[in-house]
């Protein structure tokens, strides 16, 4: 989901502080959360997908590490996505990369229902969903060093300076992500808000366990499809910035 338009609903890819920091000092929230709640209506088709496909493809949150091979019925690289919105890009990526397994985290029911609907329509078997805060899912359900990649596409940029501390891509959170990447695993972020892209580049470049795969911003990887919001932005002359960093071996 595109997030640079302040009239759009908040994205699921956000960090929300449990306690607001005082003043303008850009502290990172004491409690990291990967989302901010927003209103949304579940359609009849989404509700049907939740009922019919949810039991198979939605993993219940548990304070216990997943057996990834048992979860997917095979041994394959696993990519973790934080905040997939309505899931269109997620479904297309999973279809494009059938030899990779994907776990998508999204707290908003309409998005979960929409992705389940696409799973059914596309006949996808390499995708699972956890309807829970991605930070807690990482901490409790994903073993350290087990992920081949992490995707964070178009997280909320929190445009106002005093809200920059709420941005998800901050040093403490990146350090958490790195712990769950296998050596050689990658972190792919994308944003349509240039100031946030600049912060992402600064934060990721400062993490000693990561190395940039490009000189600055990366070319859009072929597996990431253009979203409808991104296409609209490109028609209006807006930019999109991809960052792909890899965990050092």
Catalytic residue among 13, 101, 133, 156: 156
CB atoms within 10 A of CB 227: 21
Determine contact, residues 57/120, Cβ cutoff 8 Å: no
- Looking up tokens 């359900």 gives 141
Element (H, E) at 116: helix 109-122
Q: Exposed, middle or buried, 141 (CB in 10 Å: 0-12/13-18/19+)?
A: buried
Question: CA 130 to CA 1: how far, in whole Å?
Answer: 18
CA distances from 112 to 42, 115, 132, 215 (A): 9, 5, 11, 36
Q: Is 24 among the catalytic positions?
A: no
List, in sequence order, every beta strand (DSSP E) within 142-191. Answer: 147-153, 181-191
Copy the structure tokens of residue 88.
């269109």
3-class secondary-structure state, position 78:
strand
Q: Which residues are catalytic?
A: 156
């Amino acid at each position: 989901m595109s997030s640079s338009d302040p009239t759009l609903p908040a994205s699921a890819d956000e960090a929300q502080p449990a306690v607001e920091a005082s003043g303008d000092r850009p502290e990172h929230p004491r409690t990291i959360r990967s989302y901010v709640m927003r209103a949304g209506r579940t359609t009849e088709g989404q509700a049907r997908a939740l009922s019919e496909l949810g039991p198979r493809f939605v993993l219940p949150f548990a304070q216990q590490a997943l057996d990834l091979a048992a979860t997917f019925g095979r041994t394959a690289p696993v990519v973790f996505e934080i905040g997939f919105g309505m899931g269109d890009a997620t479904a297309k990526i999973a279809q494009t990369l059938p030899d990779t397994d994907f776990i998508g985290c999204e707290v908003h029911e309409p998005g979960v229902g929409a992705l389940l609907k696409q799973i059914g329509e596309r006949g996808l078997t390499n995708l699972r969903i956890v309807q829970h805060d991605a930070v807690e899912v990482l901490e409790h359900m994903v073993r350290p060093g087990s992920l081949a990649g992490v995707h964070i596409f178009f997280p909320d940029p929190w445009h106002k300076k005093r809200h920059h501390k709420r941005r998800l891509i901050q040093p403490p959170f990146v350090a958490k992500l790195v712990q769950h990447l296998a050596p050689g695993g990658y972190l792919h972020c994308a944003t349509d808000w240039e100031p946030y892209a600049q912060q992402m580049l600064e934060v990721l470049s400062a993490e000693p366990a990561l190395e940039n795969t490009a000189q600055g911003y990366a070319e859009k990887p072929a597996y990431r499809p253009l979203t409808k919001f991104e296409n609209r932005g490109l028609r209006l002359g807006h930019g999109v910035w991809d960052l792909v960093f890899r965990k050092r071996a």
